Amino acid sequence: MKKTSKVQESMHQQVDTPADLERMKEAIKTNTMKKLGKPPDFFKIDAHHLWANKWRVNIWNKGVGTGEGVVPSFEITDSFFVEVSKDNRMTSSPRIVKKY
């Protein structure tokens, strides 16, 4: 089941400029982290614009290393398909719930 929440900024607008796209991306990332919480080994959050008002949001954490590697390890621990409606409601699949 999809969870709906109100997005603070107007998100269902035509993306005309890179600045518009960046503003929308930041609002989606902020709203996702607010609802999910911050994982203990949090590294970063990515929001990728797919088409129209549809986004892929990935939460990256520092991976648990096997010991003596020189290259750090990172993994996607949470991933959501997000859509923002005309009335600025954000829905996601799977549902974003407080996890951390």
Query: Where does the pLDDT of residue 78 fall: very low under 50, low under 70, confident under 90, or very high at 90 and above?
Result: very high
**pLDDT score, position 10:** 47
Determine which of 32-46, 56-70, 76-90 has the lowest per-residue pLDDT on average.
56-70
Q: Is the pLDDT of residue 91 over 50?
A: yes
Q: What are phi and psi of 21, to 5 degrees?
A: -65, -40
Helix (H) or strand (E) holding 70: none
pLDDT for 21: 85
Q: Tokens representing 7? A: 């997005």
pLDDT the model gives residue 42: 95
Name the residue with higher pLDDT: 94 or 73: 94
How much of the chain exceeds pLDDT 90, in percent? 54
What is the pTM assigned to this prediction? 0.76
Mean pLDDT of 7-27: 69
pLDDT at 93: 96
What is the spatial distance between Cα 99 and Cα 24, in angstroms, rounded to a whole number?
A: 24
Question: What residue ranges do the domains of the chain occupy?
Answer: 3-93
Cα(93)–Cα(39) distance, rounded to whole angstroms?
Answer: 19
